[in-house]
Structure 1
Amino acid sequence: MYQVDVLIQGFPGRAVCHGGLGWSTITLLRGEGRVVLLDVGAFGVRKPLAKQLQAHGVRAQDVTDVVLTHAHYDHAVNFTLFPNATVWIGDAELTWAASEPAGFNPLPELYVRELCQSPRVKRIQAGDAFLPGFEALAAPGHTPGHLIFVLRGNEVPIVFTGDAAKNRAELLSRSVADSDDMADSISTLSLIWDCWRAKPGTLLIPGHDLTMVLDASGEPQYIGQREASIAAWFSETLEQSTTIDLCANAGTGLFTDLVAR
């Protein structure tokens, strides 16, 4: 039904001194006459997202649907880049986000206001089959109106968890790092596991990690290889930068000096 490509790889971490990394997963789905983006990322991902869209032959104006798991900035703000897209977001999520006062939290107040006012935005309820093959399920905890999405139309089902399950550690520990309601988050994790186990081979695409599948023993296994690094100018010239590898499999070679060519 859909060709599925992860455009931006989510990262399971946060900066120690400078707040959240905001590196969330963005997935492209094409089929049924639609070009769908599931979550759209934060400001910092705009250049790599544009590059990935171009590599997949997709223009911003080609995107027909933007599907948002929740209203936090690192998943939602780039909906403005896709002028022809219908934007789908949970009614309970948007109602909650709009009622929150401006504060030191991940809600982008002005973008939430635009979501509330834009005629392109369609509010969905838990249980809605709002796009061919998709089902929205209530997944409160991280935010009160968070939704997860189950794609049942493909031969291989896919569970898109957003930040209801940000990474493998949360899935395995049955706990989460950030939650508005921890009891709700734990219940949502059980729902996610039920959806994941429902059919062998089902893929799970989390909010801040690699795609996973359950192996024969029921343990989550990554599909693909993590790529994450930072280039920094620690020397006295712009021609020389230092690459800091943020991947756990980097071994001892975490710092590599690169000379620009």
Structure 2
Amino acid sequence: MDTDVDSGRYHRVCVPETQLDFSGQTYSVSVLKVGYCLPQADGTFRADGTITLITGLRTILVDTGGPWDRDFLLQTLKERGLEPRDIQIVVGTHGHSDHIGNLSLFPSSLTIVGYDVNEGDIYRPNKLAEGNAYSVDEYVSVLPTPGHTGQDVSVQVKGTTAGTVLVAGDLFECCSDVNKWRDLSMNTVVQEVSRQKALCTADVIIPGHGLPFRVVRN
């Protein structure tokens, strides 16, 4: 358990690795791969982004992992009865290689990376850069959550049995990221605002490099 030091109004409860599926009547959310960030003795670090699948009225993949995840991603989708062509929407929460390394597997999908929304070479107008959500439908929205980079987005899914789930990319590094996220942030002030909004509205947050956590309001 980890207390959010910036508000005192919330604490976080990490979800066990055996409970990575959040079902719902309209949409279900499943973590296909838990991301990680592991410092190495030589000063480098090993990292990969969380990969999340949303199924229901539409089939949505949030972050594709790094290029080294290609075979894992294809196999995991196949085990769920899915081929790349079945993915209707692919969201890259931001443009780092460990989050969008397999976009090329989904050429026919609606693609949302940061504040760009496109189908092939056709880009749709949207108001993400103005701070407005991009609505998929009444249950799923792509929200601008900048700070880690200038154009981060998160995917909000309403109506699961766990409540509102936020697939947050690197808005949150992990369940226990109280201060270390700051070292990786392009703008800590902006990211802090985005984090507080998320903590106010989400019941479960899926971070970019660790297990999901439940948000408990004190």
- Superposed CA offset, 1:118-150 (max 9, x none): 426546414234312122333221101112222
**2:112 corresponds to 1:85:** no
Partner of 1:23: 48
Matches within 5 A, 1:52-201: 52-91=76-115, 118-119=120-121, 122=124, 124=126, 125=128, 126-132=131-137, 133-155=139-161, 156-170=163-177, 172-173=178-179, 175-196=181-202
Return the offset for 1:18. 7.0
Distance 1:169 1:176, change over 3 A: farther
Contact 2:147 2:185 in 1 (8 A): yes
Stretches of 4+ moved more than 6 A in 1?
none
Alignment check: 8 A CA contact 1:128 1:136 kept: yes
What code does the residue aligned with 1:119 have?
A: D
What does 1:213-224 align with in structure 2 at a 5 Å threshold? 213-215=214-216
Shift of 1:43: 0.8
Tell which has more relative contact order, 1 or 2 (C-alpha 8 A, sep 6+): 2
Closer/same/farther in 2, CA of residues 204 and 143 from structure 1, 3 Å limit:
same
What fraction of aligned residue pairs are identical, expressed as a percent? 24
Deviations along 1:191-240, one digit per CA (max 9) or x if unpaired, are 222123xxxxx21111111111135x75xxxxxxxxxxxxxxxxxxxxxx
The alpha carbon displacement at 1:19 in A equals: 3.8
Please, which runs of 5 or more residues in structure 2 have no aligned partner?
A: 1-25
Number of aligned residue pairs: 188
8 Å CA contact 1:22–1:42 kept in 2: the answer is no
Aligned equivalents of 2:41, 2:152: Cα separation in 1: 26
TM value normalised by structure 2? 0.75
Change (3 A) 1:154 1:189: same
AA in 2 matched with 1:143: T
Superposition CA RMSD, Å: 2.6
Q: Quick check: which one's helix share is greater?
A: 1
1:146-191 superposed Cα distances (whole Å, 9 cap, x missing partner):
1222212435210111111111222x34853301112222222222
Structure 1 residue 17: Cα displacement: 3.3
Q: Quick one: distance in 2 between partners of 1:175 and 1:46?
A: 27
CA 1:46/1:16 → structure 2, altered by over 3 Å: closer, same or farther? farther
TM-score of the pair, normalised by structure 1: 0.64
The separation in 1 between residues aligned to 2:64 and 2:119, in whole angstroms, is 19
Measure, in 2, the Cα distance between the counterparts of 1:120 and 1:51. 30
